[in-house]
Amino acid sequence: MKLMVFKNEEDLDMAAANSVVEVIKANPKATLGFATGQTPVGLYQKLVQAYQNGLVSFKQVTTYNIDEYAGLAKDHPQSFYYFMKTHLFSQVDFTEGNIHIPDGIGPDLEEEAKRYEAMLKEAGQLDVQILSIGLNGHIGFNEPGHTLHAETHVVTLTEDTREVNSRVFPSLAAVPTKAITMGLGPMIKAKKIVFIAKGESKANILKQAFQGPIDPLVPGSFLQLHPNIEVYLDEKAAQYFM
Ligand code: GLP
């Protein structure tokens, strides 16, 4: 694990974005794994800037998002598709057909999970996976439990997660109870992980995830197994590491 601690978000986002741009410069047909939530917004802004400054093109890049809420269509303002379109896809030169996000409104969620998993297997090893962590230690929507999944699956979200994520919904009741999420398999197999976390609220779970025992009750702890993970934290998030 390569741990980097930053005094401010700007520098953190720039360093993390540079690590992603580096991969694309080395391989213009790179495959990227994307995450959502507030934490990666700054990184996506830096990727947009890099594109606008002519430093990178996403034209031949293929992307796979980790997760999507069940029941939310692409144009739903809280869907992860809408989030990615807003913060990245609509501002750079991705080829529409190269963008992949689980379909949250298909007739059969289990079938969709199988379809998405088959596509990930076809894609092979991701070149870089962008990740962050939920307050309860979830990665993507791999929620804490006695077991974890290697493959894409349908998950029932914990009340914790719904509570936390309700901050971007009109109400808790509006937060879906289910989602489709990539399992830990493709993440752990990625050539490189760019992991980012910010703020005091994440300090405890980060300590558990990176310095505690590997435990399915803290899904993030499995990232300790990755041979090439870059961890970008601000000082508040890293306070228990120091
Ligand atoms: C969601 C996503 C996760 C993300 C988490 C943290 O639940 N499924 O992939 O890591 O939120 O979000 P935030 O960065 O807003 O704390």
Question: If you average pLDDT over residues 148-175, what whole number do you get?
Answer: 97
| Calpha distance 57→51 (Å, rounded) | 6
Please report the atom of ligand 1 found closest to the CA of residue 140.
9
Confidence of residue 157 (pLDDT cuts 50, 70, 90): very high
Ligand 1 atom nearest residue 66's Cα: 9
Please state, in angstroms and as integers, the Cα–Cα distance from residue 113 to each residue in 35, 180, 230, following that order.
17, 6, 28
Rounded to the nearest angstrom, the distance between the alpha carbon of 133 and the centre of ligand 1 is 6
Tell me the per-residue pLDDT of 87-127, one tens digit each, with 9 for 90 and over: 999 999 999 999 999 999 999 999 999 999 999 999 999 99
List residues with catalytic annotation: 67, 136, 138, 143
Q: What is the pLDDT of residue 57?
A: 98
Name the phi and psi angles at 2, rounded to 5.
Answer: -105, 110
Which residue's alpha carbon is at the smallest distance from atom 13 of ligand 1?
A: 37
Distance in angstroms (rounded) separating the CA atoms of residues 40 and 9: 11
pLDDT of residue 27: 98
Atom of ligand 1 nearest to the CA of 132: 10
Report which protein residue has its CA nearest ligand 1's atom 12.
Answer: 37
Residue whose structure tokens are 């699956």: 153
For 179-193, the DSSP string reads EEE--HHHHHHSS-E
Please give the pLDDT value at position 121.
97
Q: What is the pLDDT of residue 219?
A: 98
* DSSP string for residues in 67-109: EEETT--TTSTTSHHHHHHHHTGGGS---GGGEE---TTSS-H
Pocket of ligand 1, beta carbon within 6 A: 35-39, 66-67, 132-134, 140-141, 161, 165
Q: How far, in Å, is the centroid of ligand 1 from the Cα of 37?
A: 4
Rounded to 10°, the helix 41-52/80-87 angle is 40
Pocket test for ligand 1, best of 164, 194, 198 (most atoms within 8 A of CB): 164
Q: Residue written as tokens 């050539």? A: 191
Looking at residues 9-14, what average pLDDT do you find? 98
Cα–Cα dist 69/59, whole Å? 27
Q: What does the DSSP 8-state code read for residue 215?
A: B
- H-helix segments, the chain: 9-26, 41-52, 80-87, 109-123, 159-165, 184-189, 203-211
Instruction: List pLDDT tens digits, range 24-82.
Output: 999 999 999 999 999 999 999 999 999 999 999 999 999 999 999 999 999 999 999 99
Q: Give the model confidence (pLDDT) of 33-44 as tens digits.
A: 999 999 999 999
CA of 61 to the centre of ligand 1 (A): 23
Please state whether 54 falls in left (phi above 0), alpha (psi between -120 and 50) or beta: left
The per-residue pLDDT for 241 is 85
Look at residue 242 in the predicted model and tell me its pLDDT: 60
Q: What pTM was estimated for this model as a whole?
A: 0.97
Cα separation, 33 vs 194, in Å, equals: 10
CA distances from 199 to 66, 162, 202, 209 (A): 22, 20, 6, 15
Q: What is the DSSP letter of 212?
A: S
- Name which residue sits closest to atom 6 of ligand 1, judged by CA: 134
Say whether 132 sits in a helix, a strand or coil.
Answer: coil
- Coil/strand/helix, residue 51: helix
Reported as a single tens digit per residue, the pLDDT across 177-207 is 999 999 999 999 999 999 999 999 999 999 9
Q: For atom 8 of ligand 1, which residue has the closest CA?
A: 140
